[in-house]
Structure 1
Amino acid sequence: MTSEYAYDAVVIGGGQSGLAAAHHLTGRRLNTAVLEATGEATGSWPHYYDSLTLFSPARYSALPGRPFPGDPDRYPHRDEVIDYLRSYASALDADIHTSTPVEAVTSIGSDGFTVTTGSGPVFTATRVIAATGSFGSPFLPTIPGRGEFAGRVLHASEYRAPTEFTDQQVVVVGAGNSAVQIAAELAGHARVVLASRVPVKFVPQRPLGRDVHFWFTVTGFDSAPLARIVKDAPPQPVLDEGRYRTALAAGKPPRREMFTAFMPEGVVWPDGTRTPMDAVVFATGYRPHLPYLAGTGALTETGLPRQRQGLSLTHPGLGFLGLEWQRTPSSNSLRGVGRDAAYLARRLQPATAQHREHAR
């Protein structure tokens, strides 16, 4: 027999976005469920590469209502973030259903939504927030000859440690923080080339002796709702204290213009030269992971949500959280998602209320 649960709000995804949403929803006395596909509410963090450290200090890396523990000026490691999320989830006044992957969300008109799960239970709610982020949809560009390449092709989401590439020839694709960090780490174990369509741009990590996130905060840049006037997120520069700029300048690794094609044994560069490769690591970003909304009309033909500042343009009561450039430059980060969650909890009216308003 299928179990059925009724809530005021259902949050899909138990990562940083989903937990921030639950914090603000329960703060408004809404009976809230968080549905997390994996065994614990830590989002994608356990799947990131082993050496990952945050690019923002602990004082700027907390979710609402709970400071990040320890030295506020340090840059926390991946495992510290995982522990922080576990602690945060345990303190929430929400029902967190783990091992509960969502298969489909169905609109039931003025009664809200039905949320069907792969584990059996069915949930109903007048508000649904899609907070599954993008880690489940890594982006790989289409490059001629990929099907003929005999080496390994992987996304940065699959990269764990440099030792698995020891003494191999590897090209890392990308010009952002992850691409540069992975390439520099690999350079100590493998023969590495960093390939990108544009040059790598660096921003000092600590201008005038203060972390750049301090300046983002005091100037109001981090919380500015720039998405209202600038549609697409600008390219992100690499935050650096000097280590990565020095490494690239020394050719450890060297940077080249993006290769134009694969060949069976390697890659072809724009000047026609060919280099054998054992592996290609694409640090080329992600796309929103929203398969459970397919067929609802809530997404574009390319799978992007039809939304404005997190509010669905097609379904009253449906919201999105944790999208890049959703409202501010920090929308999809630990430090910024809480602001968007507060906005969404305040503005997302139940489908019943919006249905009555639209019927007038």
Structure 2
Amino acid sequence: MGSCKENIDIPVSSESISINTRLSKSSVLVHGPIIVGAGPSGLAVAACLKENGVSSLILERSDCIASLWQQRTYDRLKLHLPRKFCELPLLGFPQNFPKYPTKRQFVAYMEAYAQHFSIKPIFKKVVQKAEFDEFNGLWKVQTQDYVYFSKWLIVATGENAEPFMPEIQGVEKFEGQLLHTSVYKSGLEFEKERVLVVGCGNSGMEVSLDLCRHNAFPHMVVRNSVHILPREMFGVSTFSMAMALLKWFPLRIVDKFLLLVAYLILGNTDSVGIKRPKTGPIELKNATGKTPVLDVGALSQIKTGNIKVMEGVREITRKGAKFIDGQEREFDTIILATGYKSNVPTWLKGCDDLFSEDGMPKKAFPNSWKGEKGLFTVGFTKRGLLGTSSDAINIAREIGDQWRLMMKK
């Protein structure tokens, strides 16, 4: 389970021979779409394309599918939403999986998904540059050893391609260990250590809780306001309840209901130094993509003082940090739970019509999946795997229609 595959050179399979044409020793014409990225988004769109009778070629920079899940997540990670909201198109989770699958179970699902649809990415292919070639009307995708050409290019590298490392004054002075959550695995490595966790999203909360359970002494920086909701309300997942209520009531009414129940279950988070935004959790998510924290136990540890809440960091020192409230403390380790960012601007060129400078689509969901000249994007919706599925279905339908027209000519 979770094993990585070996790199396979061109041609990758008997199927790829039928859809790809080697133009030269280093150039390949791909008769179907080129998909960049073999995470859930890349696999989903490949499966939907296959369902529409279109073969594709996936280029993946790492040595396995779902590399973010396999290589950049902590051991205790589980899906924050029930599995029914995290299924990819055309194939659900096994029925014996729990409501909230673990990291290992999710990876196993991804591998079973790829096997079921005979999806065979080419691994260890780093896309260095991709651009539209006006001369021949094709997308030109340059890797470290090949140039691929195709009528269609699908960007599936996602919102979380690279760890986001914020600029913090004095960070270069720190003499202890500094790491991002992308390399954090378990609190077992930090037993008895004083650890500063910078960030209070779902990752920051869960890492702090994990540190607590392994007898470390976590301090969590809460710089901005954040919504904390119980993962379940009255035995039903909060997300499921919100989706059901939105079918009947206006968004702001649903937000008020969620906040009322959250207050009854969790209490007033302001009292422990965590202020709520003025905008409701769903409205804020839709407007900014900022996800509310679904609490799985961290808040109770904050209330008992096992997790210390700190205000924003003013400066990192040799031994620790100074905070904006004037406090100064020493730490053995600083963990940046500061999230991820898109890497699209580093390799995709000349696509200002679809992507903004931060590597995210300019158009809002559900219209963000389609660019010009055969360019598509999947998994940039800020709506998790539900958004990915919607993108994949739309892209496959669009390319499938174009494919069938070409076959008739």
TM-score w.r.t. the length of structure 1 is 0.84
CA–CA distance in structure 1, aligned partners of residues 154 and 375 of structure 2: 6
- 2:341 counterpart residue number: 287
- 1:149 counterpart residue number: 174
CA–CA distance in structure 1, aligned partners of residues 52 and 226 of structure 2: 44
Map residues 87-106 of structure 1 onto 2, 5 A cutoff: 87-106=112-131
Secondary structure of residue in 2 paired with 1:63: coil
Structure whose CA Rg is larger: 2
- 2:32 counterpart residue number: 8
Aligned partners of 2:130 and 2:349 also within 8 Å? no
- 1:323 counterpart residue number: 380
Structure 2 residue 300 is matched with structure 1 residue 246: yes
Partner amino acid, structure 2, of 1:163: L
Deviation at 1:252, TM superposition (A): 1.8
Deviations 1:191-249 (A, max 9, x none): 1101111344321222232112322443468xxxxx9x9984243221125x2221111
CA–CA distance in structure 1, aligned partners of residues 166 and 56 of structure 2: 38
- 2:211 counterpart residue number: 186
- Indicate which of 233, 251, 262 corresponds to 2:316: 262
CA–CA distance in structure 2, aligned partners of residues 93 and 122 of structure 1: 24
Deviations 1:83-117 (A, max 9, x none): 11111111225552222222211211362201122
- Indicate which of 323, 343, 368 corresponds to 1:310: 368
- 1:40 counterpart residue number: 64
TM-score w.r.t. the length of structure 2 is 0.75
Q: Percent identity?
A: 26
- 2:239 counterpart residue number: 213
Deviation at 1:304, TM superposition (A): 4.0
Identify, as 1 or 2, the structure richer in helix: 2
CA–CA distance in structure 1, aligned partners of residues 53 and 246 of structure 2: 30
Deviation at 1:167, TM superposition (A): 1.8
Secondary structure of residue in 2 paired with 1:264: coil
Q: Give unpaired runs (5+ residues) of structure 2.
A: 1-24, 248-281, 404-409
Secondary structure of residue in 1 paired with 2:396: helix
- Indicate which of 109, 121, 140 corresponds to 2:165: 140
CA–CA distance in structure 2, aligned partners of residues 342 and 216 of structure 1: 24
CA–CA distance in structure 1, aligned partners of residues 153 and 401 of structure 2: 9
- 2:18 counterpart residue number: none
CA–CA distance in structure 2, aligned partners of residues 192 and 230 of structure 1: 27
Secondary structure of residue in 2 paired with 1:8: coil
- 1:115 counterpart residue number: 141
Map residues 216-231 of structure 1 onto 2, 5 A cutoff: 216-219=242-245
Deviations 1:50-83 (A, max 9, x none): 1111111223221111111134652111011111
Change (3 A) 1:231 1:61: closer
Partner amino acid, structure 1, of 2:375: L
- 1:357 counterpart residue number: none
Count of matched residue positions in the alignment of Structure 1 and Structure 2: 339
Change (3 A) 1:154 1:34: same
